[in-house]
Amino acid sequence: MKILDGGLGRELARRGAPFRQPEWSALALIEAPETVKEVHLDFINAGSEVITTNNYAVVPFHIGQERFETDGVRLIKVAIEQAKNAVKESGKNVKIAGCLPPLFGSYRADLFQPEQAKSLAEPIINTLAPEVDFWLAETQSCLKEVETVHALLPQDGKDYWVSFTLQDEIKQEQALLRSGENMQQVADFIKQSNAKAVLFNCCQPEVILQAINEIKGLIPESVQIGAYANAFPPQDESATANDGLDEIRKDLDAPAYLGFAKQWQQAGASLVGGCCGIGPEHIAELSQFFKE
C-alpha cells in the first residue's frame, strides 16, 4: 500500500492560512506560500509517500480569468517550489504528483467547455512538466475532459494517474461518475490512455468500494487502484465548489477513515490517501496500519 497525502485546502484553513471562496487553496499561494510547504511537511511527517502540487485552484473558476492569464504560471511555480521545499526539508524519498485539476470547477461535468480546455490546460501542463515526478488528473467528473487534457500531455515517459469523483448516492445499482458514465467506460479510457493508476476521490467514502469492485475486473492487473475520499456530506447534482464551505463530517475521524481504507485494500486498492477534510491525523493512522 502506498500512502498519498490528504486535503490541502482544509488543512491550510485549519492552520489559519488565508482560505476562502472562490480562491480556495490558491489563496495561500498568493498571500502565504510558506504555509503550503508547512502543510505538505505535515503530511510527509504523517507518512505520505506522495504529495500533490497545490495548484488545484489555479484555474479561472477559482481565481478569475484575468488573474489566471496574468499570474497563473507564477502561482503554479510557487506551488511546485513549496512542494519541492517540503520534500527537501523532510529528507525523505517522497514523490511529487503534478495536479491536473478540473478546469471548470469540481463535480460539474455539464460545465466542461471543450473549446476552452486547451488554453487553460496548456499553461498548467507546460509549467508542471519539467518539475513533477508523474501526472495526477484528479476530481474528474467526465471522460470528455479527461481525454482532452490527456491528449495534451507531453510524451515524456512520466506515469499518468487519473482519479474520478463519483456520484454520492450510496445505494445505486452501479458506481457512476458525476457525469453518469459507468466503470466500463472508465476502464475503456484507462486501457486506451495507458494510465498506470485509476483512483476515486472527492466523494463520500461509502461509495468508493462499489467502484473498486466494479472496475478491478475491467482493467489490466498492472493498473493500480486507489482511493482518497473527502469528509463532506453528499453533494447533489447542482453543487459547485464555489457554493460555500461545506461542513466537515464529525463521524469521519481517523479510525473511522481507516475502516474504509481497509475495505478498499481488501477489494484491491494499493494507493490510499484523503481529500477535503482528511488531515495529517488520518494519514498517520493509515500509515501506521498499512506500513507496520
At 3, list the grid cell: 500512502
Is 276 a known ligand-binding residue?
yes
C-alpha R_g of the chain: 17
Is 275 a known ligand-binding residue?
yes
Chain segment 174-223, per-residue pLDDT in tens = 999 999 999 999 999 999 999 999 999 999 999 999 999 999 999 999 99
pLDDT of residue 170: 79
What is the overall mean pLDDT for the chain? 95
CA distance 14 to 282: 14
Spatial CA neighbour of 245 closest among 255, 231, 224: 231
What's the pTM value of the predicted model, to 2 decimals?
Answer: 0.95
At 25, list the grid cell: 487553496
CA distance 285 to 143: 33
The answer on pLDDT for 239 being more than 70 is no
Residues whose CB is less than 8 angstroms from the CB of residue 24 and which lie 6 or more positions away in sequence, other chains included: 9, 56, 57, 62, 241
Write the class of the CATH domain 2-291: alpha beta
Domain ranges of the chain: 2-291
At 126, list the grid cell: 507546460
CA distance 31 to 29: 6
Chain segment 34-78, per-residue pLDDT in tens = 999 999 999 999 999 999 999 999 999 999 999 999 999 999 999
Is 202 a known ligand-binding residue?
yes
Residue with cell 482511493: 227
Strand order through the sheet with 134-140: 2-3, 271-272, 224-228, 197-201, 160-164, 134-140, 95-100, 50-52
CA distance 97 to 118: 21
**Residue 136, Cβ neighbours under 10 Å: how many?**
25
Spatial CA neighbour of 161 closest among 263, 287, 52, 278: 52
Residue with cell 472562490: 22
